[in-house]
Structure 1
Amino acid sequence: MTMKRWIDILFAISIGLVALIPIILCASLFFILYREMPFYVSIRAGKQARCFRIYKLKSMRQSFYKDGKPLPDHMRITGFGRFMRKYSIDELPQLWNILIGDMSLVGPRPLPVTYTSLYNERQRKRLSVKPGLTGLAQVNGRNAISWEAKFEMDVQYVEQQSMKLDGAILFQTIGKVMRGADISQENHVTAESFQGTTE
């Protein structure tokens, strides 16, 4: 087992025990306020595009038009959900993903499986490592920058990864989370869907 994996496990256990309190409180409050299951489960692409289930605290309601199509994000997100997203509380359940080995502390963020076929050759390099709870793109703009910029930083991380770089990213992440910075793209609740890169 690598040093990086040992650090992931120790962090997931130690921080996870503390995180149980806000996870339970936020999950309970979401259920009380909106009478919906408080956890969101999604299939994401991990290392080598292997599919896995990612866990998050739900920040949006399950609301639909009469024809059954879901309402747009800005109509479904809740005030409480905005608060959780601002301080990344909704991401805390992913400590479980780290513990069981689907994710790492640091790496490219895990994205929907449907994006995999849209990557160009260079962008696909982001799939050569485990996805992370935070990453180089998250401390350099997060959702406030373009997909192309995020993917380029993901590839840079893959090419330059080291324990020193991981430590620097984790340190910067703390400041970003405390400030609630770069949560969404301009004029979007979160991030606009990736449609592929025009060469």
Structure 2
Amino acid sequence: MKGINGIYNRFVKRILDIICSLLAMMFFCWLYAIIAFLVYIKLGSPVIFRQDRPGRIDKKTGKEKIFSLYKFRSMSNVKDENGELLPDAQRLTKFGRILRATSLDELPEVWNILKGDMSIIGPRPLAVQYLPYYTDEERKRHAVRPGLSGWAQVNGRTAANWEKRFKYDIEYVERVSFLFDVKIIIETVKKVIKRSNIVEAGSQGDFDKYRIKQREEHREKC
């Protein structure tokens, strides 16, 4: 793969990630404080939501490095009569929808970028539970660090089906370059401003369930 073996991806990209993440934290600390305060008032604590996600494949182990991804909380802790949390769709408040629609809930991921878990641009990190269900081709998306935004996100975001999303992720891995990253950043800003191609979380269903159903349908046909 020429893209991931290029000088930009091997050396320059990480340096730019560090510089940009540090600048973002310095210049937008006021925005972090405001959002954190609003989240605390409207949704309570903890203000920061963390969840394990798979990162880039470690060349030594051949496995994805699992890291904690940070986001501003966007859902309440409303529970049913049995003390179980209600489905995500019922816990996502109007305020939470605004955070997600504007991508402001993802601002804490800048810390992940600074740490080296993520990059500004790359395939979005998905759930750890999906790992056993990738094909070898789909797993190529983990050949680079996951990103705050990516080629799939500016080509339909979660509105695209799983096959298309992985197709764009792999295409990014094969084409990664400075100019390509700049193009994706510009397109991301446009998407956020227009609030286009935004679909509620889980609208495409969980990938593991999708792949299991796909395999069952294939067996039935055979």
Shorter-chain-normalised TM-score: which range?
A: over 0.9
Partner of 1:51, secondary structure, is strand
Larger CA deviation: 11-20 vs 104-113: 11-20
**Letter aligned with residue 24 of structure 2:** I
Q: Which residue of 2 aligns with 1:42?
A: 51
Q: Which residue of 2 aligns with 1:27?
A: 36
Moved over 6 A (4+): none
Extract unaligned runs of 5+ from structure 1.
Answer: none
Superposed CA deviations along residues 99-128 of structure 1, whole A, max 9, x for unmatched, are 110000110001111111111121110111
Choose from 91, 103, 128 the match for 1:88: 103
Does the CA-based 8 Å contact 1:36-1:61 persist in structure 2?
A: no
Superposed CA deviations along residues 71-122 of structure 1, whole A, max 9, x for unmatched, are 1122100111111111100000000100110000110001111111111121
RMSD of Structure 2 on Structure 1 (CA) = 1.7
Q: Counterparts of 1:171-182 in structure 2 under 5 Å?
A: 171-182=186-197
Does the CA-based 8 Å contact 1:59-1:82 persist in structure 2?
A: yes
**Letter aligned with residue 56 of structure 1:** K
Does the CA-based 8 Å contact 2:43-2:74 persist in structure 1?
A: no
Does the CA-based 8 Å contact 1:139-1:176 persist in structure 2?
A: yes
Q: Which residue of 2 aligns with 1:16?
A: 25
Superposed CA deviations along residues 40-73 of structure 1, whole A, max 9, x for unmatched, are 0000000011100000001101222233432112
**Letter aligned with residue 188 of structure 2:** T
Does the CA-based 8 Å contact 1:13-1:99 persist in structure 2?
A: yes
Is 2:127 the counterpart of 1:112? yes
Partner of 1:70, secondary structure, is coil
Q: 1:103 to 1:60 in 2, by over 3 A?
A: same
Choose from 149, 159, 182 the match for 1:134: 149
Q: Which residue of 1 aligns with 2:4?
A: none
Choose from 165, 190, 193 the match for 2:206: 193
The Cα shift of 1:171 comes to 1.0
> 2: distance between equivalents of 1:31 and 1:190?
27
Larger Rg: 2
Q: Which residue of 2 aligns with 1:163?
A: 178
Identity of aligned residues (%): 38
> 1: distance between equivalents of 2:65 and 2:91?
30
Partner of 1:105, secondary structure, is strand
Does the CA-based 8 Å contact 1:47-1:127 persist in structure 2?
A: yes
Does the CA-based 8 Å contact 2:43-2:75 persist in structure 1?
A: no
> 1: distance between equivalents of 2:69 and 2:139?
20
The Cα shift of 1:191 comes to 4.9
Q: Which has the higher helix share?
A: 2
TM-score (norm 1): 0.92
Is 2:18 the counterpart of 1:5? no
Q: Which residue of 1 aligns with 2:220?
A: none
The Cα shift of 1:20 comes to 2.0
Does the CA-based 8 Å contact 1:136-1:153 persist in structure 2?
A: yes
TM-score (norm 2): 0.83
The Cα shift of 1:189 comes to 6.5
